[in-house]
Chains A and B, each alone.
Chain A
């Protein structure tokens, strides 16, 4: 229980951490804030900030900075719109370019089948967005945040993954079948040739918008 004098190394570390806060906040609160942090550290006999403290300070400071840029209730509205739009885009992308239930069989028999709800990774991203939206509506913001972070990581990683491990993507060839011949002659399959390019790994690109949401929903 050594009392930390002013100007101690611990005080310097706390003061360095408070630089994350906006300047106006620091001018008003830094001295009192650091004083209390040092009181707590003394009582616990610590000579270093805890991991928890460091994370808390950065988290509060960043949200204080965001409050200064955008008024909180406007920020909430912005997050809501971003989350809802992201989920809408992810579902539309999933429906139109992954699942496409109106296309039967393989529209281009010489190439790989890439149409169907689970033939590419689109369903993973659509599901993660849905989970995030449902969690947010249920007030479980932490769950929603995790879902979006997983979504971003998966979106970044999957293209590399497919390049490294080709063939593991569940892409299957399909022999020409009566139904696919029917599909080929149907007008709806005309515009689908881009979907059936052989072995082009696709991942739901609709996750990039989630960065803005994750950042602004703290």
Chain B
């Protein structure tokens, strides 16, 4: 199941869980903070993604707590999930290296061509 790029919400959910177990709303907040406000996770998307991640074994439920009559379910990243993030980082790294080299070459090529 470690094939293909991570989708945006999944990427941010997993990344936010590297800081330790969190409940639903805390994940939404963390994702908003980590992405500097660019990603506003809907509750429906969060739970659909978490369901998928649990099925794939990248995330697991980590206990329920009741706070003022409201259920808070905690989620934690598994070692498989951490591995998946490491793979993603390597993939992004490789992509970025190619892009940077290309952009560098393009800028030197245009300035060289003008001279």
Q: Is B51 among interface residues, defined by CB-CB distance under 8 A?
A: yes
Mask of B52-96 contacts with A, CB within 8 angstroms, 1/0: 000000000000100011111100000000000000000000000
Chain A residues within 8 Å of B47, by CB: 29, 32-33, 36, 60
Q: Is A190 among interface residues, defined by CB-CB distance under 8 A?
A: no
Closest to A42 in B: B25
Mask of B7-22 contacts with A, CB within 8 angstroms, 1/0: 0000000000000000
Closest to B65 in A: A35
Closest to A37 in B: B43
Cβ of B25 and Cβ of A52 under 8 Å apart? no
Q: How many A-B residue pairs have CB under 8 A?
A: 57
Cβ of B25 and Cβ of A36 under 8 Å apart? yes
Chain A residues within 8 Å of B69, by CB: 5-7
Cβ of B43 and Cβ of A33 under 8 Å apart? yes
User: Which residue from A31, A35, A38, A56 sits with its C-beta under 8 Å from B44?
Assistant: A56
Q: Is A39 among interface residues, defined by CB-CB distance under 8 A?
A: yes
Cβ of A32 and Cβ of B25 under 8 Å apart? no
Q: What's the nearest-Cβ distance from chain B to residue A22, in Å?
A: 12
Interface residues of A toward B: which range? 20 to 34
A interface, by DSSP: helix, strand, loop or mixed? helix
Q: Is B106 among interface residues, defined by CB-CB distance under 8 A?
A: no
User: Which residue from A3, A37, A59 sits with its C-beta under 8 Å from B68?
Assistant: A3
Query: Given A53-B42, A56-B44, A35–B71 Cβ distance below 8 Å?
Result: yes
User: Which residue from B23, B48, B70 sits with its C-beta under 8 Å from A38?
Assistant: B70
In the bound complex, how far is the Cα of B47 from the Cα of A39, in angstroms?
A: 14
Cβ of A36 and Cβ of B24 under 8 Å apart? yes
Cβ of A32 and Cβ of B42 under 8 Å apart? no
Q: What's the nearest-Cβ distance from chain A to residue B78, in Å?
A: 19
In the bound complex, how far is the Cα of B26 from the Cα of A39, in angstroms?
A: 9
Interface centre among B25, B43, B47, B69 (most CB of A within 10 A): B43
In the bound complex, how far is the Cα of B41 from the Cα of A56, in angstroms?
A: 12
Closest to A50 in B: B42
Q: Nearest 5 CB-CB pairs, A to B?
A: A6-B69, A36-B24, A39-B25, A32-B73, A31-B71
Instruction: Give residues in B with beta carbon < 8 Å to A.
Output: 23-25, 28, 42-48, 51, 64, 68-73
A7-B69, A29-B51, A57-B44 known; 5 other A-B pairs, CB under 8 Å?
A32-B71, A36-B28, A53-B43, A53-B44, A56-B43
